[in-house]
Amino acid sequence: MLPFKLVYSDDYYLPIGAHVFPAEKYRKIRDRLLENGVADASDFITPQPAYDQDVLLVHTPAYVQKLKTGTLTAREQLELEIPYSPELVQAFWLAAGGSILAADYALRNGIAFNIGGGFHHAFPDHGEGFCMIHDVAVAIRRMQRDDKITRAMTVDCDVHHGNGTAAIFAGTRVPTGPLPSTSASTLSPATPAKVRNAHAGDVFTISLHQENNYPMWKPPSSIDVDLPDGIRDDDYLAWLDNALSSGLRQFDPELIFYIAGADPYREDQLGGLALTIEGLKRRDELVFKIARARNIPVMVTYAGGYARRVEDTVTIHCNTVIAAKELYESR
């Protein structure tokens, strides 16, 4: 039995037909974790859909109304990049409920997973990039509304910039200096990443992403690390370490929301970075080690993953659970 919970439902499946987004990955992750003996059935808990009032903590009434009544414009449907249906709305509400439940369990047990969610491209008034509503933002606002937390941090390691997250949590911005050069010696001078850094407010957002990729418009996160194409494991990990260290010097979160996208993988169809499966597991370990050393609970969610072989995406996501198991069982 795991020392933490995995929130999952068969109804996380997104009814979008043949699509680059592997909607079947959630069930495959669950099956693999059970087959490999990483988890047993009692480790899984089933979410309920988010209440509309929770979704409305983030999204506009007009947008929620359009989703509920199937009245998105043609352009709005196009931006979403997945075909609208009432069943799809249900699946996204369920994913948001799952992120709320996982956030709650993270506060109890130190860590919890939503085996779904991470829809970081959704904005208050529209969806895009396969993301209808922003489950992570909904969970943050719900935890705050219930007075379970005041300050949250998002750590977004999907290959794509967390544009929805940045837009939702944008505050009055006070630019700070560049990141300290503590681990700069380990960074490749030939391929400098750009770091943008500005924060104010109760949610601190960190995004490490490929600069030359969707979305074209990247609204500022608290810390953005714009990575060059083709970056490899060691450079990526150094930038992540640097961003986390800098973020945690500036801000003291009560809960971290870790968006563990599988798409920085070198064989991803929509990504242009070059991380290995082993490097991605080291990424997960780094986030967990830093959070655990500071006793900050972590809610984990999955976001993207478009490997040529869907089994690789499943392996990367399962490894995130294994990384947590190894670390959180050790004490």
# binding residues, Zn ion (CB under 5 A) = 5
Residue 304 interacting with Zn ion (CB under 5 A): yes
Selected from 263, 268, 285, 312, the binder of Zn ion by CB under 5 A is 263
| CB < 8 Å & 24+ apart, contacts of 201-204 | 201/169, 201/170, 201/171, 201/172, 202/144, 202/150, 202/151, 202/152, 202/171, 203/140, 203/151, 203/152, 203/153, 203/154, 203/169, 204/151, 204/152, 204/153, 204/154, 204/247, 204/250, 204/251, 204/253
Q: How far is the CB of 58 from Zn ion (least distance, A)?
A: 20
Instruction: Compose the 150-189 pattern: x for residues touching Zn ion by CB under 5 A, - for all others.
Output: --------x-x-----------------------------
- String of contacts with Zn ion for each residue 15-54, x by CB under 5 A: ----------------------------------------
Cβ 219 to Zn ion, closest distance in Å? Answer: 16
| Beta-sheet strands, E only, within 86-220 | 111-114, 152-156, 194-197, 203-210
Give whichever of 43 and 156 is closer to Zn ion, judged by the CB atom: 156
Chain position whose Cβ is nearest to Zn ion:
304
Name the one range near Zn ion by CB under 5 A: 56-64, 71-79, 253-261, 309-317.
253-261
Residue 236's identity, in one-letter code, is: Y
- Nearer to Zn ion among residue 235 and residue 263 (C-beta): 263
Contact 317, 302 (CB under 8 A): yes
Residue 268 beta carbon to Zn ion: minimum distance, rounded to whole angstroms: 8
C-beta of 261 vs 272, nearer to Zn ion: 261
Q: Select the span of 12-20, 88-96, 140-148, 254-262 touching Zn ion (CB under 5 A).
A: 254-262
30: part of which helix (H) or strand (E)?
Answer: helix 25-35
Strand order across the 203-210 sheet: 44-45, 5-7, 111-114, 298-301, 255-259, 152-156, 203-210, 223-227, 194-197
| CB-based burial label for 29 (10 Å; 0-12, 13-18, 19+) | buried
CB of 265 to Zn ion, least distance (A): 11
The distance of closest approach from Cβ of residue 79 to Zn ion in the complex, given in angstroms and rounded to an integer, is 16
C-alpha to C-alpha distance for 46 and 24, rounded to whole angstroms: 17
The CB-of-47 to Zn ion minimum distance in angstroms stands at: 22
Report the residue number, 116 or 297, with the smaller CB distance to Zn ion: 116
Interface with Zn ion by CB under 5 A: which residues?
A: 158, 160, 261, 263, 304
